[in-house]
Amino acid sequence: MHRIVKVTVYWIDIKKCDTNIRSDIQYRALSSAGYQFLYQLLSFGMIVSSALMIWKGLMVVTGSESPIVVVLSGSMEPAFHRGDLLFLTNYQDEPVRVGEIVVFKVEGRDIPIVHRVLKLHEKGDQNNTVKFLTKGDNNSVDDRGLYAPGQLWLTHKDVVGRARGFLPYVGMVTIYMNEYPKFKYAVLACLGLYVLVHRE
């Protein structure tokens, strides 16, 4: 009887020990999963921060508030097509020239316009202000109908940048994302999910 009691007590101790081990393993597994999720979340934040830093760096190097833009219409065909990605610079000391392709903003319009400089007009004042007129290669008339009411010319302050290079059709993804919101959310969700679950 005495031996049986000892064996029974010993078995109970083993069972308690096994329960503690299992609890410890589960705790470590949950902790590991939590740390893994936190790591992936921080990685996603670093990717976003790096993208913002690169964009700000491009703004400083190019002198343009929008160093990369997407052509949204066919008004510049055949030079540029809808969906082409343009790389811009906007150095203040470089004069605007006839035939140059510029991206400019117009008062009352949120989206910049990509058109070619058609004509220059030098105003003979103390600042020697140079004004210019633009036109789309695929348009039959100049852009005065697109300018703000009463505006006949553009000045350098209206310019966002000047085209220095392009990649054909790369910007179509951006156009699809703007025209089809569900597609945009699907792409963003896939990217976020990939970053969160991807393990190096």
Catalytic residue of the set 115, 125, 140, 158: 115
- By CB neighbour count within 10 A (0-12 exposed, 13-18 middle, 19+ buried), where does 29 fall? exposed
Encode burial over 161-186: b for 16+ CB neighbours within 10 A, e otherwise.
bbbeebeeeebeeeeebeeeeeeeee
DSSP string, 71-123: --SSTTTTTS-TT-EEEEE--TTSPP-TT-EEEE--TT-SS-EEEEEEEEEE-
Catalytic residue of the set 143, 156, 158, 198: 143
75 noted as active-site residue? yes
User: In this structure, are residues 39 and 197 in contact, taking their beta carbons and an 8 Å threshold?
Assistant: no
115 noted as active-site residue? yes
Q: What is the token pair recorded at 179?
A: 């025209």
Catalytic residue of the set 64, 75, 84, 158: 75
User: In this structure, are residues 131 and 155 in contact, taking their beta carbons and an 8 Å threshold?
Assistant: yes
Q: What is the token pair recorded at 52?
A: 């913002």
Residues with catalytic roles: 75, 115, 143
